[in-house]
Structure formats: structure tokens, C-alpha cells
Amino acid sequence: MSHHHREPESILSLRVRALESLLVEKRLVASEAVDRIVSAYEEDIGPHNGAKVVARAWVDPAYKQRLLADGTEAIEELGFGGVDLRVVENTPGVHNLVVCTLCSCYPHALIGLPPTWYKSFEYRSRAVREPRVVLREFGVELPENTEIRIWDSSAELRYLVLPERPAGTEQLSETELADLVTRDSMIGVAVVRPPRAEVGAASRRGAGAE
């Protein structure tokens, strides 16, 4: 395998290559198998998976019931898996927020690998203790009497937030609805915006939405 480095290779990179080389030599690892897993996370697995689950729950009340009762089983109906899942629903008086204070537990299969901020000391230390302040930093201002339910992912269950369906989206198809659902809304640090607001926000930022 070739390695093109403009700058001198970092000691970390060299160390990792050496580790891989040793494990390949001991026939415990095959580099193609590592390539395959890496490309799965880079190309295939991401928030678009979770967005399909959310959109289906929005348009199909019976599916939503199954999803909230047993997330693990319900996502298998849509061809997803690889995770023991608990889905928690945002409603007008309840907002859910997911964190892992001890490490970095996160529903990879549905929303990809976690962003750095989710794994950061800042988020892990503060989300449980001052969720309203943290949410405000993400631009989410909730009514004072909205209950914020924090889910500290301490076991082999992963949490996915079912965000509220935005008003004014009655005419949208399931696919169009899925396009509105962001990664952050499924962690609980964002709410889903209706399409008009999304366009406005994107143009204000001068870049495409995530």
C-alpha cells in the first residue's frame, strides 16, 4: 500500500502503521478488512439512515408505536441493525438529550461515528448537569417548563431521539421529510426545522446545510 505524505509522517501515523503491520504479520488482521470497515463508515453509514427511521415514524403511527416499544426490532424492518436501540420521543412538553459521560456510546448504525464534540470532555461533563446551558450553546432555547430528559448511555443500549415533526410539513413525502432530519436532532442538540426555515438558515450561513 502506498502512502503519500507531503509532510514528514507523524509519529502517531508511523506507530499505527507499525501496529497494523505486526497484526497482519501475525495473521490477526487483514488490511482489506480494515479498508472495508473504514469505507463503510466513510461512505455508507450516516445520519441518512436514522433520518429514514424518523421519517417513517412521522408518517406511520403504527410504526412509531413499534419503534418506541422496541427500537432494536423496529429498525430491522427498515433493513438496519447492529445495535440494541432505545428510541425516545420529543413531544411539546418533553425534550430528550443523549450523552455518554463515561466514554462515547452512540448509535453508530443509525447516525454514523460520533462527531468530536460528542466525545469531548466539555459535552460529557456538562450535558448531564447543565443541559439547558449546553442546549443554548447549540442554539436551542426551550420553554422553561419543558422537561429535558437526559439519557446517559451507560450500557449496551444506544439512544436515538425521535424529534418532533415540524409544523407545515403535512404535504411532504416520507423522503422529503427524511431530508429535513439532521444528525444533531437525533442526538437532541437541535430541533428539526421546516423546509422554509432550513433554506433561510442555509443561505444565511452561505453554505449547504449538513
Residues between 7 and 36 that touch other proteins (CB under 8 A): 9-10, 12-36
Has 104 been annotated as catalytic?
A: yes
Using the contact rule CB under 8 A, the part of the chain among 55-63, 136-144, 160-168, 173-181 near other proteins is: 136-144
| Spatial distance between the Cα atoms of 76 and 153, rounded to a whole number of angstroms | 21
Interface residue with other proteins among 154, 173, 175, 203 (CB under 8 A) is 154
Q: Is 69 in the site for other proteins (CB under 8 A)?
A: no
Q: Is 150 in the site for other proteins (CB under 8 A)?
A: yes
* Amino acid code (one letter) for 63: Y
Burial (0-12, 13-18, 19+ Cβ within 10 Å), 85: buried
- With residues binned 3-state (H G I as helix, E B as strand, rest as coil), the percentages for the chain, rounded to 5, are 50, 10, 40
Interface residue with other proteins among 80, 106, 181, 185 (CB under 8 A) is 80
Has 173 been annotated as catalytic?
A: no
Place of cell 430541533: 191
Has 10 been annotated as catalytic?
A: no
Q: Is 134 in the site for other proteins (CB under 8 A)?
A: yes
Facing residues of 162 across strands?
A: 89
Q: Is 203 in the site for other proteins (CB under 8 A)?
A: no
| Spatial distance between the Cα atoms of 71 and 52, rounded to a whole number of angstroms | 13
The count of other CB atoms within 10 Å of the CB of residue 156 is 8
Residues 85-124 touching other proteins, rule: CB under 8 A, are 86, 99, 101-104, 109, 112-113, 115-117, 119-124
Which amino acids are annotated catalytic? Answer: 100, 103-105
